[in-house]
Structure 1
Amino acid sequence: MKSYYPDTARKIQEKVEEECDLQDYEGSRLYDEYPDRFMLYHLGRKIVDEVRSEADMEAMSDGLLGDLVEVLLFHEISRRRCRRRRCRGDFYR
Structure 2
Amino acid sequence: MSEKLPFYMAYQNQLPIDTAWERENSRDVSYMKSMYPAEVKKILPYVEAECDRLEYDVSMIYDEYPDRLQIQMICGRVYANVKGQIDFADKQKDKTDDLPTKMEDDWLRELVWVMTCQEICRRRQERRNFQRKYYFLNESVS
Range class of TM-score, shorter chain = 0.7 to 0.9
- Is 2:84 aligned against 1:53? yes
- Is 2:55 aligned against 1:24? yes
Tell me the equivalent position of 1:43.
74
Between the aligned residues of both structures, percent identity stands at 40
What TM-score, normalized to structure 2?
0.58
Q: Aligned pair count?
A: 87
- Is 2:126 aligned against 1:83? yes
Tell me the equivalent position of 2:16.
none
Larger Rg: 2
* Distance (whole Å) between structure 1 residues aligned to residue 64 and residue 34 of structure 2: 31
Unmatched 5+ residue regions in structure 1?
88-93
Q: Would you identify which runs of 4 or more consecutive aligned residues in structure 1 move more than 3 Å?
A: none
SS of 2:88's equivalent in the other structure is coil
Q: CA deviation at 1:37?
A: 0.3
Q: CA deviation at 1:10?
A: 0.7
Q: CA deviation at 1:14?
A: 1.1
Alignment-mate amino acid for residue 112 of structure 2:
V
Instruction: Give the aligned CA root-mean-square deviation in angstroms.
Output: 1.5
* Distance (whole Å) between structure 1 residues aligned to residue 71 and residue 34 of structure 2: 26
Tell me the equivalent position of 1:63.
106
User: Per-residue displacement from partner, 1:6-61 (whole Å, max 9, x unpaired)?
Assistant: 12111111110010000000100110011010010011011111001101122382
User: Per-residue displacement from partner, 1:33-92 (whole Å, max 9, x unpaired)?
Assistant: 1101001001101111100110112238211001100100000000000110019xxxxx
* Distance (whole Å) between structure 2 residues aligned to residue 39 and residue 56 of structure 1: 26
* Distance (whole Å) between structure 2 residues aligned to residue 44 and residue 33 of structure 1: 19
Tell me the equivalent position of 2:35.
4
Unmatched 5+ residue regions in structure 2?
1-31, 94-103, 131-142
